[in-house]
Amino acid sequence: MRALRYVAPLREGGSLPALMEADDEGTYVVKFRGAGQGPKALVAEILAGGIGRALGLRIPDIVLVELDPAFARLEMDPEIQHLLRASEGLNLGLDFLPGAISFDALVPPAPSTELAADIVWFDAFVTNIDRTARNTNLLVWHGQLWLIDHGASLYFHHDWTDDLARARSTFPLVREHVMFPLAGDLMAADARAHARLDEVRLRSIIADIPETWIEGNYDVRQTADVRTDYLRFLATRLEHSTDFVEEALRARAQLV
């Protein structure tokens, strides 16, 4: 779909996302390929978002938004104009949730222990470092918990060295996760995840990555090789998921 109107910058985000209207009459939070994190942050959003939905978690719908060069010419702010010029073509949009409020673990009602465990497992699986009490990246909308902002996930893809070893790694930062104190049975969450995720599902999610976000952004790798490497990493991490679950259980034991 095509962006029709730049509504407002969302300056809370370091990558300067924006609220935009598109030609499907929808309003989206758009993240730009020309932002500092580059296209790999958008790839992380695609992959983590698809995996989260496969696990039954609420993640705003993701769309691809075509940005016309005219947007840069019409923008007066030089910082935003530069960003728009660098982002011509396909960008990523997330369905805007009007009236949503940030999740606060101290404000009741608390999420169920099962949901909290599923979120902890998900973030450990995609190595999401950005779901702490300081920055939960969780919204409450119509009484339901929604997960947002996954661009910091899958940080291995910024340096593919020893990617298989890192696929089998634990996730020590789980102890900082905002849902960690609320999480129920993490082994049960692991079992639920394996019932919902497999290599076929992962391959389908990886296929959603636009080729234009891959070409020229992964050293000398060709498009097919990058997709294969993502699949290899995620399938290996799924196979060895008990490693990061056991790390989480050891961290929990230290809290007692």
Query: β-strands 62-67, 101-102: how paired?
Result: unpaired
Q: How long a stretch of residues is the chain?
A: 256
pLDDT for position 120 = 98
In the chain, where do the E strands start and end?
Answer: 3-9, 18-22, 27-31, 62-67, 89-95, 101-102, 138-141, 144-147
φ, ψ dihedrals at 46, nearest 5°: -60, -50
pLDDT along the chain (256 residues), means of 10: 82 76 91 89 97 98 89 71 84 96 91 98 97 95 96 90 87 94 97 98 97 82 78 96 95 80
Alpha carbon separation from 187 to 179, 198, 242, 246 (Å, rounded): 15, 17, 8, 9
Cβ neighbour number for residue 234 with a 10 Å cutoff? 23
pLDDT of res. 12: 65
HSE, side-chain direction, 13 A CA sphere, residue 108: 1
Dist. CA 49–CA 59, nearest whole Å: 6
The whole-number pLDDT of residue 179 equals: 96
pLDDT value of position 217? 83
State the DSSP code for 35. Answer: S
Per-residue model confidence (pLDDT) at position 176: 95
Element (H, E) at 237: helix 223-239
Nearest alpha carbon to residue 208 among 185, 187, 231: 231
Strand 18-22 relative to strand 27-31, pairing? antiparallel
Give the model's pLDDT for residue 8: 84
